[in-house]
Structure 1
Amino acid sequence: MAKPRKKLPLRSVDISCSRCKAKLFKYRKGGKGALVKCFIERISEDFTETPGVCPQCQQAFARETLIRGTPAYKIIGGKVQVK
């Protein structure tokens, strides 16, 4: 499979925890579909201390994985909100 595009998308979205509303990431998202995965190279600001864990409520919201050979977070359904 092909790797993600090198040129970053223009649209930036805020990703927050669905339980406590804490800010998690500022992410450069491409497309208009649901957020299923976050490529680590597209995260412009990271507000988490531990990868995949909310800094306030300590809820796991993602798992680290390799997608198409690129490091990414696989989002657990219903754990994050995108604005």
Structure 2
Amino acid sequence: MAKPNAKAPDKSVTIYCKKCQHILFKYKKGGKGALIKCFKERITKDYTTENCTCPQCNSVFARDTLVRGTPAFKFIGGKVWFK
């Protein structure tokens, strides 16, 4: 499998917790599809204190994993939303 593009996309999105609406990340998202995973190298601003856990409601929203050999967060369905 190929690695993700080295150049980060121009489009920046804000990722929120679905349960309490707290901001989790500012992220450089490529494409127009659903938000399934989040490469750690594309996160521009991280508002979390503990990996994969919302700082406000303490709900786990993702799993720490490797995608194509690159560290990433794989989101649990229905736990986050973005705009």
Which runs of 5 or more residues in structure 2 are unaligned? Answer: none
The number of equivalent residue pairs is 83
What is the aligned partner in structure 1 of residue 81 from structure 2?
Answer: 81
Which runs of 5 or more residues in structure 1 are unaligned? Answer: none
* Structure 2 letter corresponding to 1:10: D
* 4+ residue segments displaced more than 4 Å: none
Q: CA deviation at 1:73?
A: 0.1
For residues 50 and 72 of structure 2, what CA distance do their matches in structure 1 show? 14
What secondary structure, in the 3-state scheme, does the structure 2 residue paired with 1:41 have?
A: helix
What is the aligned partner in structure 1 of residue 48 from structure 2?
Answer: 48
What is the aligned partner in structure 2 of residue 5 from structure 1?
Answer: 5
* Deviation readout 1:5-31 (Å, 9 max, x if unpaired): 000000000000001000000000000
For residues 67 and 23 of structure 2, what CA distance do their matches in structure 1 show? 24
* Structure 1 letter corresponding to 2:56: Q
For residues 51 and 32 of structure 2, what CA distance do their matches in structure 1 show? 25
* Structure 1 letter corresponding to 2:65: T
- The reply on whether 1:25 has 2:36 as its aligned counterpart is no
TM-score, with structure 2 as normaliser: 0.99
The percentage of aligned residue pairs carrying the same residue is 61
